[in-house]
Amino acid sequence: MNTTSFVTGGAGFIGSHIVNHLLKQGHKVIVLDDLSGGDKDNINPEAIFYEGSILDVELINTLFEKYKFSYIYHLAAYAAEGLSHFIRNFNYQNNLIGSINLINASINHNIKCFVFTSSIAVYGTNKLPLTETQYPQPEDPYGIAKYAVELDLLNAHKMFGMECGRYIYESNFRE
């Protein structure tokens, strides 16, 4: 199989499990992580690791050019629930602008599918149980950033046909 997958946040708990699964499926796996929340020891030695940030546009573009990714698994984020009111710039840079850097590169390189890990924070404090069919109502900058990425992915799908690994209920998005 000549499939190359890019995993951001691949040194974290969930990211490292995705890396292991992809390697078992025969993918060549490139991991990008700034190690702010993950551990290098979590990364499977069969993966190719780059220590860096999704904010580094030059690095992102270099990796996309070099490896010709088929799939993007975007797990890199700064989990800022409860704190994001006080670190707005940091939150939006890491959780929104970094994601947009990846979406731009994905569109420019015609990737097959972009898998994004969002957050329950996009739903705010809606009535339980929460489901993906509920209308998002984020209540803090962290949830707003995650929801903005969902909206941008929906736009990338509509405008460029980019497939997204998270089914986005279009009925939830008022146009």
The catalytic site residues sit at 142
Q: 77 near 90, Cβ under 8 Å?
A: no
**Which residue matches tokens 């279009």?**
170
Q: Which sign, positive or negative, has the C-alpha torsion 99, 101, 107, 112?
A: negative
Cα gap 118→136, rounded to integer Å: 12
Q: 109 near 101, Cβ under 8 Å?
A: no
**Long-range Cβ pairs for the range 14-21 (8 Å, 24+):** 14/75, 14/117, 15/42, 15/73, 15/75, 15/76, 16/42, 16/43, 16/44, 18/73, 18/75, 19/43, 19/44, 19/47, 20/44
- Length of the chain as a residue count: 175
